[in-house]
Each structure stands twice: as C-alpha cells, then as structure tokens.
Amino acid sequence: MKLSEIKNELQKLNTIAFQLPNGDLVPSHFHVTEVGKVTKHFIDCGSTVRQEEVVNFQLWEANDYDHRLHPEKLVHIIELSEKVLGLPDAEIEVEYQMRDTIGKFSLDFDGTNFLLTSKQTDCLAKDNCGIPPEKLKAKIGEWKPKTATCCTPDSGCC
C-alpha cells in the first residue's frame, strides 16, 4: 500500500485497526511513534547496484490506555511528515515490536483493517548468480500434454 492509498482509506474510517498476519489485532491503544523515509542503497549478489525507498511507520504500544489514535490525527501526522521530510508516494513498511525483535511488514487494507502482511527475503539476481529458475509444479493428474492423442518429440509431453 502506498502513502496516498492509506491517506485515502483513513478519510473513510472512524477508527484505525492494524491486524497482524496471524489474525490478532494490534492493541487499540497503539501509537505511531515514527513516520519516516528509509532509503536502502545496496549491491546484490549479481553485482547490480540498487536503491529502494519506502515510507516507514513504527507502531508502538504502552500502558497508555486513555489515548487512541484517530484517523484524522494520523492523516495530520502523515501530511506533516510529507511536508517536513519530503516523503514520496512510496510503499509503506510497518515496524512493530514482536516478542524478541522488531517485525517488518508490508501493508494492505481489507476495507476494515490495515493488514500487516509478511515480508520475505529473495535473491534479486537469480539470472546472474546461477540459481536455476523454479520448475513449474503441477499436481499429478492435472497436467495435460499439448497433444492428447500421441507423444511426439516436439509435442512437449516428454
């Protein structure tokens, strides 16, 4: 989800809820303690120099049960951050304290809750560093050859 998309969705809501990948909700008394721009400048294993930029939200909860962040307040925080930090309309990455470390999540929306979705590592240079492409996986009985009547050398069935 991009910054412009969360602002648009917040305008339609009365309350904000963030849902973890396991279905649990972040406690409603959370705070957004940081909004920032994170730039990652790196070289991948195929020697390609890359740069990525995301907008980062940090969610935090404390024993402050009397204050709840309202959608209009978060829009104000985002707009101030855009002005002061020059935030781009980039993808949002959310940090949230897990049991022993900070979890990093992508962000989506289901019409009610903002969904913290799992992020995965990946090799960005598979073609340059010798990793073979994944073979197409088909369940036994679901694969059908191009020609159903016979198997010839150019039919693709063997």
Predicted pLDDT at 51? 96
The encoded tokens of residue 79 equal: 């707009």
pLDDT truncated to tens, each residue of the chain (158 aa)?
999 999 999 999 999 999 999 999 999 999 999 999 999 999 998 899 999 999 999 999 878 777 789 999 999 999 999 999 999 999 999 999 988 999 999 999 999 999 999 999 988 888 887 777 776 566 666 655 554 455 566 655 55
Neighbours of 70 (CB within 10 A): 14
CA distance 18 to 30: 9
pLDDT at 80: 97
Helices assigned H by DSSP within the chain? 3-10, 71-85
φ, ψ (nearest 5 deg) of residue 8: -65, -45
